[in-house]
Amino acid sequence: MTTDLAERYGASSPVRRRLGVVAIVLVVTVLAGWLVWTTAFHASPPVESELSAFDIADDNSATAVVSVALEDDVIASCTLRAIAEDHSTVGELAFAPVDGRNEVAIRTERRATSVTLLGCTAPGQPRPR
């Protein structure tokens, strides 16, 4: 008692099958375009930064050297944090960088042991870099 599935359940029409394939191709094309756009947008942020060096000058100050790469006419903001031996924050400073080398002094409430760069952001760039 063998029955053909198409006879039992009915076969889908060729037009419906083509519409399904076209819809899948369209969705894949849109998603691929979005992925390319997102990758290109995030690959070249308007501001990038790197902590080059830091020095603990005394119990109430530290200095940091931050290298910043800015696109033309971009106004950015960078944030540095001074950390004590017990891992608590003893100083924090937000500053407007210039393109190139930035030497910045941070006032601390007690002796810091390290300085970290939280990153720099520009308008439209939510993630610090």
Instruction: Name the helix (H) or strand (E) containing 57.
Output: strand 47-58
Please tell me what DSSP assigns to residue 77.
E
pLDDT of residue 4: 79
Residue 29 CB contacts under 8 Å (≥ 6 apart), including other chains? none
Question: Domain residues of the chain, as ranges?
Answer: 5-43, 47-121
Asked whether the beta carbons of 115 and 81 are under 8 A apart, the reply is: yes
Edge-to-edge strands, sheet with 89-95: 89-95, 77-83, 114-121
pLDDT of residue 1: 56
pLDDT tens for the 129 residues of the chain, in order:
566 777 777 777 788 889 999 999 999 999 999 999 888 876 777 888 999 999 998 999 999 999 999 988 889 999 999 999 999 999 999 999 999 999 999 999 999 999 999 999 988 887 887
